[in-house]
């Protein structure tokens, strides 16, 4: 009986061990199902038509005939939309834009070592750029309305978001191109046109108005976006394992492969460096805006002071000469201890530690002293007046004369000192009145003349002159003030 009992104890299964094995098997099965689901969800190799994708990309490379005219029309429409500050019109132009062909060709040819396709792509890419810029230039040069809209100005400098749009737009387009049975020539091309068309139109705008800073910044943005679209194409073609181009001469094939790899590396290195720089600038701008929101934006002026947000400038410089310039107008002066507190508060932002915080403020108004002078003048003249009519006549004449003097009186020493402190490139400053007439009326026009240092480039002169002119009009409360730039 004991033997039977022992036998039963040794042969009966352990419920604990059995349930543990079952849980392990179930968990492994769950992991397998998840892995299978993710493979089916994200795998793009199985449903890829490599031959059709390659043929479609090569077919879209050339710019001639119909494609050239479609590009011209789309650039015209995009230029009109940017000029009118209309996002909807710009999107409409993107729907018909054929910009993506040569760029996809460059990325694919580098990935499969196809030198012939690379040469064709580069040639048509140059044709595309010249034709687009020339079209935009002609539009903005002859169109009478050439306002610097926010849509245009947004394309004069690279932003981290533009780079991301270009990269993921390129990924979306190439993946869509590679799918069997897809039609991706128009709808998916909008993602690429978003990164390419507005910068090209802005290059034409900058050339039309003679602002090389705008044109250069927009072309820099276009080149960055082109590099990242080509990089996205290169990576997708490599992931999908497109076959390499074949050459009869094995030595030529090896040489071609090395050249293509070298070109791809040379493209990827500056792309990574540019991405890093753009990311750094974006971080600086964001933290500068946060500092402004936490300081001057919430500062309460007790009298008639006012913060001029449209004149405030945030400048990022990789060499370490970055600065934040806050502009205030009115009678009230912000105390120096408050400004020092803001400078100390700046140190809590890591990107702003080396940046300079400048606060440009307007001077005090002397209107109270002027009115006191009128009152003293009246008291002095009152004893000399013989009658009421004479008193009125003398007071009116004196008030008219005083009003004219007060209007024309310019605190030149204060203005010149403030201007010199705000603009380091200022080398000379003068003021005079110009009497003008159209033979029906005569006006006295206040004119300021400025001399900039010889080493200052034309873009900085134009930018600082525009800011100085706006500041003078606000500072002196006179829109008739004119500013002239002169050289010795």
Tell me, yes or no, whether 184 and 62 share the same domain. yes
Which tokens belong to 5?
């009992």
417 CB-near residues (< 8 Å, 6+ apart): none
Tell me, yes or no, whether 204 and 104 share the same domain. yes
* Cα 227 off chain centre by: 18
Tell me, yes or no, whether 240 and 130 share the same domain. yes
Residue 380 lies in a domain: no
Residue 9 lies in a domain: no
Tell me, yes or no, whether 182 and 105 share the same domain. yes
Which tokens belong to 368?
């109270």
Question: Cβ(168)–Cβ(187) under 8 Å?
Answer: no
Report the length, in residues, of the chain: 488
Total structural domains within the chain: 3
Count CA within 13 A, CB hemisphere, residue 74. Answer: 27
Alpha-carbon distance 311 to 486, whole Å? 24
Domain boundary among the residues 191, 225, 245 is at 245
Tell me, yes or no, whether 232 and 309 share the same domain. no
Q: Domain of 431?
A: 411-485
Tell me, yes or no, whether 182 and 74 share the same domain. yes
Tell me, yes or no, whether 176 and 106 share the same domain. yes
Residue 345: DSSP 8-state: H
Angle at 199 between CA 194 and CA 203, to 5 degrees: 160
Which tokens belong to 49?
């038509």
SS3 content of the chain, % helix, strand, coil (to 5): 65, 10, 25
CATH number at residue 460: 3.30.300.20
Tell me, yes or no, whether 229 and 330 share the same domain. no
**pLDDT tens, the chain, 488 aa long:** 444 444 444 444 455 555 677 787 777 777 877 887 777 777 777 778 888 888 888 888 888 888 889 888 988 888 888 888 777 787 777 777 777 888 888 888 888 888 888 889 999 999 999 999 999 999 888 887 766 776 677 666 666 777 777 788 888 888 887 877 655 444 555 556 666 888 888 899 889 888 888 888 888 888 888 888 888 888 888 888 888 877 656 676 667 667 666 766 776 676 677 778 778 888 888 888 888 888 888 888 777 777 877 778 888 887 778 889 888 877 778 888 888 888 888 888 888 888 888 888 865 444 444 445 455 555 555 555 445 566 666 666 666 665 555 445 677 788 888 888 888 888 888 887 777 777 777 777 888 888 888 888 888 888 888 888 888 888 888 888 888 887 55
Tell me, yes or no, whether 171 and 108 share the same domain. yes
Residue 3 lies in a domain: no
Alpha-carbon distance 72 to 99, whole Å? 11
CATH number at residue 132: 1.20.1080
Backbone angles phi, psi at 414, to 5 degrees: -65, -45
Residue 40 lies in a domain: no
Residue 251 lies in a domain: no
Tell me, yes or no, whether 198 and 290 share the same domain. no
Tell me, yes or no, whether 235 and 301 share the same domain. no
Tell me, yes or no, whether 320 and 418 share the same domain. no
Residue 181 lies in a domain: yes
């Amino acid at each position: 009986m004991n033997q039977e009992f022992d036998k039963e104890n040794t042969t009966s299964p352990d419920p604990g061990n059995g349930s543990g094995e079952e849980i392990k098997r179930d968990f492994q099965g769950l992991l397998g199902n998840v892995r299978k689901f993710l493979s089916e969800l994200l795998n793009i190799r199985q449903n890829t038509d490599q031959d059709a994708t390659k043929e479609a990309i090569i077919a879209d490379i050339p710019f001639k005939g119909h494609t050239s005219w479609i590009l011209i029309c789309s650039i015209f429409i995009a230029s009109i939309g940017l000029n009118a500050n209309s996002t909807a019109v710009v999107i409409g132009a993107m729907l018909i834009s054929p910009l993506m062909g040569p760029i996809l060709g460059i990325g694919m040819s580098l990935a499969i070592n196809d030198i012939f396709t690379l040469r064709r792509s580069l040639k048509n890419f140059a044709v595309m750029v010249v034709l687009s810029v020339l079209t935009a230039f002609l539009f903005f040069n002859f169109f009478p309305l050439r306002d610097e809209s926010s849509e245009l100005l947004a394309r004069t400098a690279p932003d981290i978001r533009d780079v991301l749009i270009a990269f993921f737009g390129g990924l979306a387009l190439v993946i869509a191109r590679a799918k069997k049975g897809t039609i991706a020539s128009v709808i998916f091309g909008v993602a690429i046109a978003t990164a390419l068309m507005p910068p090209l139109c802005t290059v034409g705008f900058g050339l039309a108005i003679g602002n090389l800073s705008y044109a250069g910044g927009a072309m820099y943005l276009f080149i960055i976006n082109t590099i990242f679209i080509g990089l996205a194409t290169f990576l997708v073609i490599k992931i999908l394992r497109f076959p390499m181009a074949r050459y009869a001469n094995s030595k030529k094939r090896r040489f071609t492969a090395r050249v293509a790899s070298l070109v791809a590396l040379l493209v990827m290195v500056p792309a990574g460096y540019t991405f890093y720089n753009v990311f750094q600038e974006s971080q600086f701008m964001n933290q500068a805006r946060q500092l402004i929101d936490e300081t001057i934006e919430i500062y309460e002026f007790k009298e008639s002071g006012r913060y001029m947000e449209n004149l405030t400038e945030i400048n990022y410089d990789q060499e370490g000469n970055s600065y934040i310039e806050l502009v205030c107008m009115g009678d009230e002066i912000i105390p120096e201890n408050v400004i020092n507190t803001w400078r100390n508060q700046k140190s809590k932002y890591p990107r702003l530690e080396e940046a300079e915080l400048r606060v440009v403020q307007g001077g005090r108004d002397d209107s109270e002293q002027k009115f006191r002078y009128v009152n003293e003048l009246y008291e002095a003249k009152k004893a000399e007046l013989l009658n009421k009519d004479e008193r009125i006549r003398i007071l009116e004449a004196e008030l008219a004369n005083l009003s004219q003097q007060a209007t024309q009186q310019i605190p030149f020493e204060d203005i010149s000192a403030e201007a010199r402190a705000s603009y380091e490139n200022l080398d000379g400053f003068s003021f005079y009145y110009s009497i003008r007439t159209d033979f029906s009326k005569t006006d006295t026009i206040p004119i300021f003349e400025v001399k900039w240092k010889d080493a200052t480039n034309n873009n900085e002169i134009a930018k600082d002159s525009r800011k100085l002119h706006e500041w003078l009009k606000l500072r002196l409360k006179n829109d008739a003030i004119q500013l002239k730039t002169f050289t010795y």
